[in-house]
Amino acid sequence: MFATLRAARDARLMATDKYMLSDYPIGEADLVAVRAYRAALRDLPEQHGAPWDGGGDATPWPIMPEV
């Protein structure tokens, strides 16, 4: 189940990769929020209770900031 959780987490990380490009038009406050979101995603498999349901509805996904 950890592999499934990590695959779901990796998909969410890839969806935010564009914000990390140096030429992407994003404000500093939004960039800080996206970085915090990505850090929370990276830390998710280490949280107590992981892998929950392998990345499904029972997984406590962090909230993607509106950018």
Contacts of 32 (CB under 8 A, 6+ apart): none
What is the rounded CA–CA span in Å between residue 47 and residue 4?
15
Give the sign of the dihedral formed by CA 55, CA 26, CA 31, CA 20.
positive
Q: Write down the pLDDT at residue 8.
A: 97
Q: Write down the pLDDT at residue 3.
A: 96
Tell me the per-residue pLDDT of 4-53, one tens digit each, with 9 for 90 and over: 999 999 999 999 999 999 999 999 999 999 999 999 999 999 999 999 99
- Residue 30: CB atoms within 10 Å: 14
